Amino acid sequence: MTEAPSVPDISHGTAAEVFRIFLRLGVLSFGGPIAHLGYFHTEFVQRRRWCPEQTFAEIVALAQSLPGPASSQVGFALGLLRAGLPGGLAAWTAFTMPSALLMLAFAFGHQFFTGRLGVGVLHGLQLVAVAVVAQAILAMRKSLAPDLPRLALAAAAAGIVYFGLGTIAAIAAGALAGLLLPRSATIKPSHPLSFGVPRSAAILAAALFIVLLCGPPVAASLWPSQPLAVFSAFYRTGALVFGGGHVVLPLLESAVVAPGWVDQQSFLSGYGAAQALPGPLFTFAAYLGAAIRPSLHPVELSALALIAIFLPGLLLVLVVLPFWSALRQRPLVQSLLGGVNAAVVGVLFAAFLGCCSVLHSFADLALALAALLALLRWKLPPWIVVVTVASLSALVAVA
């Protein structure tokens, strides 16, 4: 009987440890949700070895299949995996707080990233995001799509996303195709997962998700209240949006501009500021809550909108993950996972093609390649690469 291969220690840690690491990522993770997954992969799979490659891919696939902000859901799940529910809450709070505070500051009149210098810095951050995503794809491809059948599956998933059929369709197609993979090509989980969340908590989270989705709209119609109406609008947006990131913007516009809470110019100004900040784009809700007029309590509405838009996605993670460790041990699910993991590589590659739209010149390409080389060959910490490339891009912009 052969001994099972050793795996990373994924069950021990503290909420304080999780908070410290995610706070740094919240400050430095520029580039949008796909880039965030690249930063997470570098930090938690390659550097700290909190979880193996296939576990990370499983979490990404689950998050991509649920409504809500995918990168925040992945971070929440990684925190749960490391330190239980306190770790999950610490991960979400730390990763969200920096950009949420900056968006709140912007709502009160601050201006960020103006002029040629600021534009150059922002462009440099986008170039780093290209390198980070490329690094994650290359690493995940080696373990999740190392042979021709899974490479073909990843390519098919990339095509599904690239031609506009959606991430969920690509992952579903990958799961079905996984049934056709050779048995040796499927990735079999060799260890159980413990997210520190009992099944009773998952049932409670499911009930709370439904109550908060259906209850506040009814209550707001019976007892008119601005906080209740704001919570209802932002919670409904977070519960019904698939794909996260920029997909949420038209829903937010419908939620706050259509009823006259925020004017169109203010909405677009906040959206522009959100592009320049690290962390999840859903923190745009913090700006919108503070920008609602009339309002006597802009800070309170900001916090309410922020919590409301993230809450449904986090509740759904709690609903799914406690059952996942048992499900993933079943032979049928293992076959499905073989396809899903390969499809995740394709989904990330399709998103990477979109990231490449920021490469406008040979200088941009050179900086992005230099950043990738620094990450792959020289193993420099991502924050050093971020600061260096952003500075060089700013110098090019003002030259």
- Please indicate, yes or no, if residue 201 is contained in any of the structural domains: no
Angle at the Cα of 71 from the Cα atoms of 366 and 93, rounded to 5 degrees: 115
Instruction: Indicate whether 267 belongs to any domain.
Output: yes
- Model confidence, pTM: 0.74
- The H or E element containing residue 39 is helix 33-40
* Residue 283 pLDDT: 93
Determine the 3-state secondary structure of 14 from DSSP: coil
* 10-residue averages of pLDDT along the chain (399 residues): 43 88 91 84 91 87 82 94 93 96 82 63 78 81 84 92 81 87 62 74 94 91 89 91 63 85 80 76 92 87 96 94 76 80 84 81 90 86 80 84
**Domain span at residue 146?**
7-182+219-399
Report the pLDDT value the prediction gives residue 246, as an integer from 0 to 100: 57
Closest of 90, 88, 58, 63 to residue 74, by C-alpha: 63
Structural domain contains residue 203:
no
The whole-number pLDDT of residue 83 equals 92
Predicted pLDDT at 213: 93
Q: Is residue 209 part of a domain?
A: no
320 belongs to a structural domain = yes
Number of domains present in the structure of the chain = 1
Structural domain contains residue 196: no
Asked whether residue 197 is assigned to any structural domain, the reply reads no
The torsion angles phi and psi of 258, rounded to 5 degrees, stand at -55, -45
Cα pseudo-dihedral 140, 146, 151, 154, rounded to 10:
-30
Euclidean distance between CA atoms 325 and 285, whole angstroms: 33
As a whole number of angstroms, the distance between CA 366 and CA 286 comes to 36
Q: Is there a domain that residue 193 lies in?
A: no
